[in-house]
Structure 1
Amino acid sequence: MTKAPSARVESDRLSETTREESFGTVRANNRGALDLLADAAQLRTLLDRLTPDAFAEQTGFKDWTTDDILRHLLRGNEAARLSLTDPQALETMMRGARDLSAAERRAQEQAFANHAAGAALVDAWFTNLTRTVDLFLAVDLARRVPWAGVTMSARSLLSARLMEQWAHSQAIYDLVGLERREADGIEAVAILGVNAFSFTFRNHGLPVPERVPQVRLTAPSGAEWLFHADNQDDVVTGSAVSFCRVVAQVRNIADTDLAVSGAVAHEWMAIAQCFAGPPQLPPAPGVRRAAPALRTDLLSELEGLSAA
C-alpha cells in the first residue's frame, strides 16, 4: 500500500449551497453534474497555487505535463458539450482523431487550446467545464447522445467525463504530493469499473467469464457499496478510492488496499480498464504514486492546503 501523502487540498470554491443556487433547479438524478463540478473546483484550488514552472513539469502519467492534461480535458469536455448541443459539429471535430498518433493527438489538443498554458489554460478549462456542467444539469440523462461513432445515454457520458477528469488529475496531485479530498461522487467511476468487466476481457481478446466477481467497497463517507453480492467465489474488497484507481489504471493493484480472492477476480484486476479504446495495461507496481513529501517548490502559496 502506498504511503499517504502529507497534505490535502481543501477546496475554497463553490459550496454545495452556492452550486445549487448558481445552476438553479437541478433535474432529478442529475447530481452527478455537481459531483463533476465539485471535483473540478477542488482541482482548480490546487492549480491556482502552482508556480508557472510546475505546469511544464512531467507527471507520472506517460510523461504528460499538467498543461497536457488540462488540454486533454478541455477538448474532451468540449466534445461532450457538442454531443449534447450540436452532433454535427461533434462529428466534424472528431473526424480522423482515431487515426492520429499520440504525439499528433497532443499537438491537436494544444492547437485546440490556442496554445494556452499555465494560468490562462486553467481559466479556459474551468470556464468550459462549467458550461458543460450547466448543460448536464438541465438535460434528461436518459437521452441518447452520439459519442465516438455510437450512441450512449447522457448519464453514461457524464460518468465518463467525471472518470476521465478524476483519473487524469490524479497525476497532478501525485506530482505535488497532495491528497485529494475524496467524495462519494466517485461511485460513478466504481460503477463504470464494474460494468466494464466484460469489455475488459473482450478488449484483450480473452473469453469473458460467466460471472462478474462480487465487489464490496467502502465509500469515502464510510458507506458500503456492494455489487454482484451473489458471487462468493470471486471477491474484490477494499476502499472505493483504491478500486477506482485500479480500474482507471492510475495505480497498480499491488499499491492499494484491495483484497482479491478467486482466479477470475485476480485476472480481472490485473487488466481492469474502465475507459474506452484499445487495451491498456496498468502501471507497474510502485510506478504511479504520490511524491513522498509536499513539493513546496511547485507551489506559489500554501493557503487552502491542510495536513492530512
Structure 2
Amino acid sequence: MSDPSAATAAVIDDLCQESAQLDELVAELDDRQWALDTPAPAWTVAHQIAHLAWTDRAALLALTDAGAFAGEVEKAVASPEGFVDEGAEQGAVQPPARLLAGWRAGRAALEAALRAAPAGTRFPWYGPPMSVASMATGRLMETWAHGQDIADALGAEHAPTDRIRHVVRIGVRTRDFAFAVRGLNPPADEFRVELVSPTGQLWRYGPSDAPQRVTGPALDFCLLVTQRAHRTDLAVRAEGPDADQWLDIAQAFAGPPGNGRAPKGTSQ
C-alpha cells in the first residue's frame, strides 16, 4: 500500500520545483521585460507573478486562518469578475524587485504550511474544501499555466517536465465540471484518455474499453485544459461526439468558462 504522506510530500516537492523553474525565467528580467504584455488580456509579466503571489497568500490564509479566509471568499462572491484582476493589479504596480521578493517569501511560507499540515486535513477554498495534496496540485497547475503565459511573452522556452502529470490529472478530473459550468449535462460514461508524457511514458485514465477516447501529447492536453492554446493548434484528438465536445470546452480551473486563446494567426 502506498504511503499517502509520502505522496503528498512528492506533490509539494514538484510544486517547489515548478516554482523554481519559473523563478529562473524571471529572476534576471529588466523593467521593460516585466512590463511586456502576456497572452492574458491586460496582464503583463508583472501581473502574472503578482497573481501567483496573491493566490499563494490566499492559500496560506486558508491553511492557517479559516475565519480570515472566509472574508476573502466573501470578497470573491461580491466581485466574481473583478477580484482576481484587482489582486494582480495591486501586486503589479510594485517595483519588480519587491514583487519578486514577495513572491519568493510567500512561496516559502506556503511550502512550510503545506508540509506542516496534519495528514487528512481539509481546508476551505473558493470551491469545495481541499486536501493538502489537492492544494499543492492546484498551485502547481497555476504556476505552470502562468509560467506558460510568461514564456510566451518573453519568447522563451517553457520546457515541459513530467510534473505536468498533476495538470493532466486535474484536467481529467474536471471533465464533468467543464460541461456543468456551461449548463450542459455531463456525459454518462467515462472516456479513455491516453497521453504521452514529455519523457515518452504513456499515461492512461479511464476504462480501457471505453468507446470514446482522447489521445495525444500530454503537453498539448495541458495547454488545452488550462486554455493556453486553441484546440486547432494542438495534437489532441477525440474519438466520439461527447469526447469531441469536451475538447472544445475543457477547463481545469474553477470559475466561469474562460475565453481561451485564439488560433494562431488570428486575434481575439
In the TM superposition, what whole-angstrom CA distance separates every residue of 1:147-185 from its partner, at most 9, and x where no partner exists?
A: 126422222221111111111121110111122222222
- How far has the Cα of 1:240 moved from its partner? 1.1
* Aligned residue number for residue 77 of structure 1: 56
Provide the alpha-carbon RMSD of the alignment: 2.3
**For 1:219 and 1:87, how far apart are their aligned partners in 2?**
37
Q: Which one-letter code corresponds to 1:268 in the other structure?
A: W
CA contact (8 A) 1:213 1:231 kept: no
**For 1:287 and 1:66, how far apart are their aligned partners in 2?**
22
Quick one: structure 1 residues 60 and 115, their matched pair in 2 at CA, closer, same or farther if it must change by over 3 Å?
closer
Quick one: structure 1 residues 158 and 288, their matched pair in 2 at CA, closer, same or farther if it must change by over 3 Å?
farther
Counterparts in 2 of 1:111-126, with a 5 A limit? 111=90, 113=91, 115-126=93-104
**For 2:40 and 2:163, how far apart are their aligned partners in 1?**
23
- Aligned equivalent of 1:247, options 225, 229, 232: 225
Q: Which one-letter code corresponds to 1:225 in the other structure?
A: W
CA contact (8 A) 1:218 1:225 kept: yes
* Aligned residue number for residue 162 of structure 1: 140
* Aligned residue number for residue 30 of structure 2: 51
* Aligned residue number for residue 155 of structure 2: 177
Higher relative contact order (CA 8 A, sep 6+): 1
Q: Which one-letter code corresponds to 2:177 in the other structure?
A: F
- How far has the Cα of 1:90 moved from its partner? 1.3
- Aligned equivalent of 2:108, options 116, 130, 154: 130
**For 1:32 and 1:215, how far apart are their aligned partners in 2?**
22
**For 2:252 and 2:240, how far apart are their aligned partners in 1?**
21
SS at match of 1:156: helix
* Aligned residue number for residue 85 of structure 2: 106
- Whether 2:168 is the aligned partner of 1:190: answer yes
**For 1:149 and 1:214, how far apart are their aligned partners in 2?**
27
| Residue range with higher mean Cα deviation, 61-70 or 94-103 | 94-103
- How far has the Cα of 1:95 moved from its partner? 2.6
* Aligned residue number for residue 96 of structure 1: 75
- Aligned equivalent of 2:39, options 40, 60, 77: 60
Counterparts in 2 of 1:140-151, with a 5 A limit? 140=118, 142-148=120-126, 150-151=128-129
- Whether 2:183 is the aligned partner of 1:233: answer no
SS at match of 2:72: helix
* Aligned residue number for residue 236 of structure 2: 258
**For 2:92 and 2:151, how far apart are their aligned partners in 1?**
25
Q: Which one-letter code corresponds to 2:95 in the other structure?
A: A
Quick one: structure 1 residues 273 and 237, their matched pair in 2 at CA, closer, same or farther if it must change by over 3 Å?
same
Structure 1: 5+ residue runs without aligned partners?
1-25, 290-308
Quick one: structure 1 residues 100 and 151, their matched pair in 2 at CA, closer, same or farther if it must change by over 3 Å?
same
Count of aligned positions: 263
Quick one: structure 1 residues 108 and 182, their matched pair in 2 at CA, closer, same or farther if it must change by over 3 Å?
closer
SS at match of 2:124: strand
- How far has the Cα of 1:220 moved from its partner? 1.8
TM-score (norm 1): 0.79
* Aligned residue number for residue 271 of structure 1: 249
SS at match of 1:211: coil
CA contact (8 A) 1:110 1:116 kept: no
CA contact (8 A) 1:209 1:264 kept: yes
CA contact (8 A) 1:55 1:118 kept: yes
Quick one: structure 1 residues 212 and 283, their matched pair in 2 at CA, closer, same or farther if it must change by over 3 Å?
farther
| Residue range with higher mean Cα deviation, 45-54 or 98-107 | 98-107
Richer in helix (by share): 2
**For 2:246 and 2:86, how far apart are their aligned partners in 1?**
34
SS at match of 1:90: helix
Structure 2: 5+ residue runs without aligned partners?
none
SS at match of 2:129: strand
TM-score (norm 2): 0.90
